[in-house]
Chain A
Amino acid sequence: MQRWRINIVLTFITIFSALIIGRLVYIQVINHQYWQALAQGQQKFFVSLEGERGEIFFKDGAPLAKNYSFDLVYAAPPEVENPEDTAKALGSTLNLPEDIILEKLQSGTFYELLKKRLSEEELGKLKEMNLPGIHLGKEVKRYYPFESMLAQTVGFVGGDNKGQYGLEGFYDDILRGADGILQKEKGPGGYFINNFGKPLENGADVVLTLDYNVQFFAEKLLGEAKENLDIEKGEIIVLDPNSGEIMALANFPSFNLNEYSQIASLDIFKNSSMHELFEPGSVFKPITMAAALNQGKITPKTTYVDEGAVKIGTYTIRNYDNRVWGERTMSEVLEKSINTGAVFAEKELGHDLFLEYVERFGFFTPTGIDLQGEVFSQNREFRKGYEINFATASFGQGIELTSFQLARAYSVIANGGKLIRPFLVKRILDNGKIIEVKPQAQDSSVISESSASQLTLMLVSTVDNGFSGRAKIPGYYVAGKTGTAQIPYEDKRGYYEDRTIQSFVGFAPALDPQFLILVKLYNPKARTAEYSAVPIFREMAKYLIDYLQIPPDYDK
């Protein structure tokens, strides 16, 4: 009897076990993929993320562009208990129109962004209010601690996290973090226990050639030029003419990079040093002289007789202020900035060679600077071969170029004949790897070292004896040349009577240049560059001499 009962129980247990085993075989062997996927769906999460954007630093390590976690507030409309009261409370706290907030709260969606970049005060109040359905969040965005400093050069990051303008635009691929998928696994208790997948690759940091102190001083000088000369726009470029390293690149006016979206006119985003073409005027004369000197067509002592005007076809070219200078050497042509003298040198050289040298000095090609959107002119009108075009181009009218092209051409004179590439990024720090950016110079010389030396001495004489005298710094030889160029009409032929671009390009110490400065001012309230750009150059050069501790060339 007892045996019989046990047998029944055992039979039931066996059948039950067989059923369980059968079910387990069905779930774990036959249909395992389905259940595995279902379980993974509950336990694993995939998050698409982008590595953090690389940061930008000055040469000395001061941060220029950083990533910052900003607070934001958003609503979950279905959780909001009293939309009218909530909208009223939020309106006064966030300084937003109540009706817009109310519309969002009644939208019926699950997520409505209310405000980004909350201030400390707003954040504190929101935490205190603790409104149902109103949540706080964070978003990592670009932040520029120095706000308007170097605005056009740095550029900014747009809403799509893409760099725009300047360095942010040019180095976007390097600065941008790589896209990646992070796999997270939830363990018991609902806590994430593991992160799988390739670790996110952050973007590379870049260290610039720019010096914070020099940059600050250059921008300060432009600010003062606005006050004293009422300039419309202005720029200062400071670079090492031997390597092409840019030490400062100041633009006026500027804008706050952290509030770029509030700027009405996009024109202010342009970096006038490489986004705008201009007719340089007399500051171009040394280029004509360099070509003629290098070809042996003239020497600094070659003389000609100025009669105040040169007739070319139906056109008459005159000197500034209709002056007549009589017999003058080529050095004096630069000192007194005589237009007819430049025309003489160009004629001596010949049109074909002049054109060839203009090309060799890099005026028909971009400089290759590492900033987004560099422009350059093919100068088609000038290259048509009309005599008048060559004549006017010899003293810098009728030929278009950018400030960087001009600075690069002067670097050729300063460094003994080499065409360099101006650059802003000195080092790239890519996840522990340091990539040094090497200066680049063209192999073949544009002019010979002796021609460069002769021209340098002519430019020193221009500072010592000519209209550029205000650039003199006791104890140092300074080489440079002024330019006061008329501005052409935008929609017709001819030039404005009352609008000029006044500039000065110079380098020091002339015989062993450590820096080259280009100062360009749009329509300053001064007659010529002698009274506007030259004093600014002097201030900048004096500062650099002290800052770089350059020993004097001679006793004062």
Chain B
Amino acid sequence: MNHVSILNLPILTKSLYFKPNLKMLSILGFILIVFLLGIYIFQVSSLISETYILQNYQKIVAQILEENKILEINFAKTNSLSNITSKIEELGFEKIDAVNYIQVVDNSVARKP
């Protein structure tokens, strides 16, 4: 019966040995940190600018809605019958009692009723 230890296999003893290159690792780590920092700054700045734009739009929407309400109220007031009645009085309009139709011949421009 043969017992062969797996640790003694020559192929493993050489190829699995890894010597860390600290200098390379530090450079890579530094580059990664700078890269991530750059991404972070970029994301934060774009988030801020988008939020700012969004808030600006929200303000504009609120302003337009308010202006719309004012217009609606002014429209209702201007078209109110009380306003029209006072305008009629102001302009001296007369209420029509009877409608008289006048016949205008082709060759006349104006005619006395």
Contacts and interface: CB of A to CB of B under 8 A. Distances in A.
Interface string B75-93: 0110011100100000000
A193 B47 contact: yes
A63 B76 contact: yes
A188 interface: yes
B73 A188 contact: no
Contacts of A213: 81
Contacts of A145: 73, 76-77, 80
Contacts, number: 46
A192 B51 contact: yes
Contact of B55 (A67, A69, A192, A220): A192
Contacts of A216: 81-82
A189 B70 CA distance: 34
Nearest to B73: A145
Nearest to B77: A145
Interface in A218-273: 220
Contacts of A63: 72-73, 76
B52 interface: yes
B44 interface: yes
Interface residues of A, number: 20
A46 interface: no
A69 B55 CA distance: 20
A433 B48 CA distance: 38
Contacts of A212: 81
A146 interface: yes
Interface residues of B, number: 17
A192 B52 CA distance: 9
Contacts of A193: 47, 51
Contact of B69 (A69, A146, A187, A220): A69
**SS of B interface (majority):** helix
Interface in B7-30: none
Contact of A66 (B48, B72, B85): B72
A49 interface: no
Contact of B48 (A68, A146, A189, A220): A189
Q: Which of B44, B51, B77 has the most CB of A within 10 A?
A: B51
Given A145-B77, A146-B76, A189 B69 contact: no
A278 interface: no
A191 B73 CA distance: 34
A220 B81 CA distance: 10
A143 B80 CA distance: 15
Q: Which of A69, A145, A212 has the most CB of B within 10 A?
A: A145
B55 A68 contact: no
A188 to B, nearest CB: 5
B80 A191 contact: no
Interface in A41-90: 62-63, 66-69
Interface in A138-178: 143, 145-146, 149
A13 to B, nearest CB: 11
Interface string B42-70: 00100110011001000000000010011
Interface string A526-545: 00000000000000000000
A67 B69 contact: yes
A66 B55 CA distance: 26
A192 B47 CA distance: 11
Contacts of B76: 62-63, 145-146
Nearest to A219: B82
B51 A146 contact: no
A68 B71 CA distance: 11
Contacts of B51: 187, 189, 191-193
Contacts of B80: 145-146
A267 B10 CA distance: 110
B16 to A, nearest CB: 23
B55 to A, nearest CB: 6
Interface in A186-218: 187-189, 191-193, 212-213, 216
A212 B76 CA distance: 11
B48 A191 contact: yes
Contacts of B82: 146, 149, 216
A187 B55 CA distance: 13
Contact of A68 (B44, B52, B69, B81): B69
Contacts of B81: 212-213, 216
A67 B66 CA distance: 10
A462 to B, nearest CB: 30
A143 B76 CA distance: 12
B48 A188 contact: yes
B69 A188 contact: no
Nearest to A193: B51
Contacts of A149: 82
B47 A68 contact: no
Given A63-B73, A68-B73, 7 more contacts: A146-B76, A146-B77, A187-B47, A187-B48, A188-B48, A189-B51, A193-B47
10 contacts: A63-B73, A69-B66, A69-B69, A145-B77, A145-B80, A188-B44, A189-B52, A191-B51, A213-B81, A216-B81
Interface of B: 44, 47-48, 51-52, 55, 66, 69-70, 72-73, 76-77, 80-82, 85
Give me the 8 closest cross-chain CB pairs, A-B, nearest first: A189-B48, A191-B51, A216-B81, A145-B76, A145-B73, A193-B51, A188-B44, A63-B76
